[in-house]
Structure 1
C-alpha cells in the first residue's frame, strides 16, 4: 500500500493537498491501494473531504482513527433539546446560540454550526465570576468529540476525546513552563486495544499512529511525506519496516533563484543524510540536477511532477477565443510574497493602457492579510478598481478558466506550477517569468505561451498585448496549449511513478 502523509485537508485545500488528491486518482486508476493520512484534529474534517471531492475511505485522520470515527455518518447525533441544562435557569434562544442564566450569571452557552443550524458546535460552562471553565466541542457529524477543561487564565488545562458512542479514548494535559509558556506535557491513549499508552508529545503519538497503520496493512508499505516539517518526525522514527520518500513540493534552497550558491534548508539536509529516508522526489530534472550539484548526495532521487489532469480536463472542449469574454486575464495564486502579485498588477496596468476593456481576475486564498491590503491599494492607486477582481479561494475554477484569454505568472519561485497546467487544459496560453522551477517545463516558448526574464513585468505585458491584439495568433497558441496539456494525463503521471517506484524496489533489493 501507499500512504501520502500531510497535516490536514482543509475546506480551502492548498496546492500540496491538491497535488496529493491528484496523485490519489493516479494510483487508484492503476489499481494501486493508496490512502491519504492526516495528523491534525479538525471537527469539520469530513465536511472538508466532501468539499474537496474525497470519500471517507480515501483518507484516515489520526484522531478520527483513535476516536473510532473514520466513517462519514454516525448514529449518535446529539439533539440540543435533550442536553441537560442548569435547573431553573433562564433560557434565551438566539440565532446561532442558546444562553442559560441563573440570576445575573451566565452558566451555559450552546452554539451551532452555521452550515447546519441543528448541529451543536460548542457547549460552554461558566463559573459564578463569568469565567469559562469547560468547553465541549462537537464534531460536525453530530457527536461530542472533545471536552476541554480550562485553567484560571482561560488556557486549556486538559482535553478528553470521545468516540461517537461516548467512550473516552484519549486525554492530554497541559502545564505552564517556568518561562510562562503553556506546553502539552502528556498525551494518553485510553484502553487502546486493552492497554493505556503514554506519549510526551504529538510527534510520538504520530509515530505510533503510522506504525499502527503500517501494521494493519501488513507492513513494508511506502509512506510519502508531503509536508515533511509536520509529519517527518513521526515517519523517520517508525519502528515497523516501511519505505519512506520525501516529496519536494517547493524549492529546497534558502535563496530560490540561486540554488547553486545558497544553503539547503535544514530539513532537506536531514532528509539527504538520514538512513531512514529512502529517497527524494523532485518535480523537475533541473531541480534534481541542482540538488545533486549543491549537496553531492548519492541519495536516491527521482523526478515526478505533481501536476496531473484527469479525463474531464483533458477531453473538455476548448472554447474558441472568439466565444470567450474579450481580453479577460487570469492568475491563480495565493496571496503570498512568493507569488509576486505586485508584478501581475503592474503588468496588467500596462495592458489596460493599451486595451481598455481588459480585466484581470486573481483567484487564491489569502496567506498574508497585510499584503492583500497592499495589493488592493496598488490596484486603487493605478485606477484599476473596476478592472482587477480578487476572488479569494474557489474549489471549481472551470468556469473561470473557460472565460479566460491568458494566464499571467509572476512568481518569484515555484515547485512546479499546477495552476498553469490546469490553464493549459482549458486552452489558455501562459505568459510567465522563467523562474526556478516549473515554467520552463510547462511553457513551450513561442508555441503555447512565452517565458519572460524574471522581474521584467514590462516584457510580460508586451507579450500579452501582442497576443491579445492578434486574435488569430492567440487562437493558435490556445490550440497548442490544449494539445500540450496531454503530457499531464493520469497515464503519463503513472509511468513516472512506476519508474520511480521500481527504482525504489531495486534499491531495497540491493541493500
Structure 2
C-alpha cells in the first residue's frame, strides 16, 4: 500500500518505477490493501493514476482520480423528525436521547464525507458506510450486536455492487473473513476463501490484460507472495530483499534465514532474488548454498534533478546543524544518536539535531523524549514531522548521523550525499560500507561505539575546511547513483529472467 507517509520500501518502488519509465520500460506498481485515501496518497508522493493500481480500485472500477458525482451530505436520507446537531467535523442526528445517525468528514476535504454510521433504537451501531476521499460511497459494513463486522459490500463510483465479503466467529471467539465474492465481474460471480486467493486472481487478470509472460517484482513478500506464487497464467517472479534476511540481523552467518527467504530460495515458482549489496549476496550464498539466480541492485537511485542540485557551501548553511532521517523504531537505535549528540554539543554548544521520520513505535518515541530531557537537550533536538520532500532539510544540514542496528541499504544516506552532506555511520550490515568512502565523504565507525561516532563528527565540525572538502566529495560520490547505472543493472536482471522458462 502507498500511504501518505510512505516507508523506505515504497519510496524504493517509486524510484524504480521512474527508472523503468525513463527508459521506456512499461511498468506499474500494484498494491493489495484497501485504502480510501489511496489516490490522494499517490498525489502526495508525486505519482499519477496510471503509474499505480490498487486491487480494490480495479474491481471497483475506480482507477481514476476525478469522480463525476460527489455525494452531497445534505442529500443523504436522515432519520425522520430527528434532532440535527452540526459540529466541526461531524453532523449528529438523534431521536430523543438516542443517537441514530452520525456523519463525519475528511479533515482535508471540505464537506467530503468520511463515514456515515447508523444506530438502532438501543444505540448500537448497525451499519457503517465508508466513503472514498474522492467523494463516493465505497464500502458498507454491516455490524453484529457486538459491533463486529458481519459483512462488507463495495461499490463502484456509480453505486453498482461489485464485491461482498462475509465474516464468521471461530469457536474461540475470533472473527475471521470466511468468504469473498466478486459480483458480476465480466458477467460472472467469483468466490474466494481468503484475500490471498483474490489477490492471485487479480494478478492473473492484470497479467492477462497485459499479454501474459510479464515479470512481477515482489517487494513485500509476506503480503504479495501467496498471490504471486499461485498464479495460473504464464509469468516470471523476482523477489527483492529490501532489508536483512536473517532472524538475527547482525549475525547473518550463524542465524536462521527468515521463512519467506527459505521459501523463495527453494520454490521453483520463484525465478530469482535481488539483494542490495554484494556483501549480503555473499553472506546468503555462504549460508544457503543456493543455485537460485541472484543479483545485486541497490534501491537507492537519484534522478537528474537530484544529481544537479547545487552544493550549498557549508559557510552558507546554518552552523552545526546535524540531521538523521529515520522512523522511530528500534532498528534505528536513535538512543545512540542522542547520546552521540550529547557529546558533540558539549564541545560545540550551538549544535542542533533534527530527527526526520514518522513514529513507528510510540512507546519508544516517549522514551526518546525522556532521554533528551534527562540530558538537557530538549531545546536542541527536534523531532520533525514526516514530509515527502526533504530537500530543504538536506540543504541546511552540516552532517548526517546514522546509528542503525541494521539496514537494507540506506536510501536517505544517498539522498544526503546528493546535497553534499557528509555521513558518519555505524558500519553495519548492510549498506553504509557501500555508500560511505571512509575518510572521504564521511566516516564508518564500529557499531555501538557512539563515542567514536561523536569524535568523528567533531573532527569535521571543528575544522571548517575539512568539512567543506568532505561535503564536496559527498556530492561527487552521489553521481554514481544515477538512472543510467540503475537501469543497466536492471536490464541485465530482466534479460536473464526473460530467457528462463515461463511458469505456467
Q: In 1, Cα distance between the equivalents of 2:304 and 2:346?
A: 39
Asked if 1 retains the 8 angstrom alpha-carbon contact of 2:236 and 2:498, the reply is: no
How far apart are 1:392 and its partner, in Å?
3.0
TM-score for the superposition, normalised by structure 2: 0.99
Which of these residues, 327, 332, 340, is aligned with residue 333 of structure 2? 340
Instruction: Work out whether 1:299 is the aligned partner of 2:292.
Output: yes
Among candidates 349, 353, 374, match of residue 356 of structure 1: 349
2:81 to 57, 80, 88: 88
- Give the CA deviation at 1:295: 0.3
Which residues of 2 match residues 407-446 of structure 1 at below 5 A? 407-446=400-439
1:134 aligns with 2:115: no
**Gaps (5+ residues) in structure 1?**
1-7
Shift of residue 100, structure 1, vs aligned partner: 1.3
Q: What secondary structure does 1:69 align onto?
A: coil
Question: Stretches of 4+ moved more than 2 A in 1?
Answer: 505-509
1:380 to 359, 373, 378: 373
**Greater Cα offset, 254-263 or 191-200:** 254-263
Deviations 1:63-104, CA, capped at 9 Å, x for gaps: 000000000011121011111111221111111111111222
Give the drift of 1:508: 3.5
**CA offsets, 1:151-197, max 9 Å, x none?**
01000000000000000000000000001100000000000000000
* Corresponding residue of 2:94: 101
Q: Which residue of 1 aligns with 2:39?
A: 46
Aligned to 1:272: 265
In the aligned structure 1, how far is the partner of 2:371 from the partner of 2:300? 32
Aligned pair 1:391/2:396, yes or no?
Answer: no
CA distance in 2, matches of 1:101, 1:345: 52
2:316 matched residue in structure 1: 323
User: 1:3 is matched with which residue?
Assistant: none
Q: Provide the alpha-carbon RMSD of the alignment.
A: 1.1
The partner residue of 1:181 within 146, 151, 174 is 174
Which residue is equivalent to 2:303? 310
Task: List runs of 5+ in structure 2 lacking aligned partners.
Answer: none
Aligned counterpart for 1:164 among listed residues 153, 157, 160: 157
Distance 2:417 2:256 in 1: 34
Q: Is the 8 A contact 1:245 1:278 kept in 2?
A: yes
Name which of structure 1's ranges 244-253 and 495-504 shifts more when overlaid on structure 2: 495-504
Task: Choose which of 232, 240, 245 in structure 1 pairs with 2:233.
Answer: 240
SS in 2 for 1:49: helix
- Matched residue, 2:51: 58
Aligned equivalents of 1:364 and 1:224: distance in 2?
26
Q: Which residue of 2 aligns with 1:5?
A: none
| Preserved CA contact (<8 Å) 1:96 1:117 | no
1:21 aligns with 2:17: no
Distance in 2 between residues matched to 1:507 and 1:79, nearest whole Å: 54
Normalised by the size of structure 1, how large is the TM-score? 0.98
Q: Deviations over 1:189-225 (max 9, x none)?
A: 0000000000000000000000000000010000000
Paired residue total: 504
Superposed displacement of residue 291, structure 1: 0.2
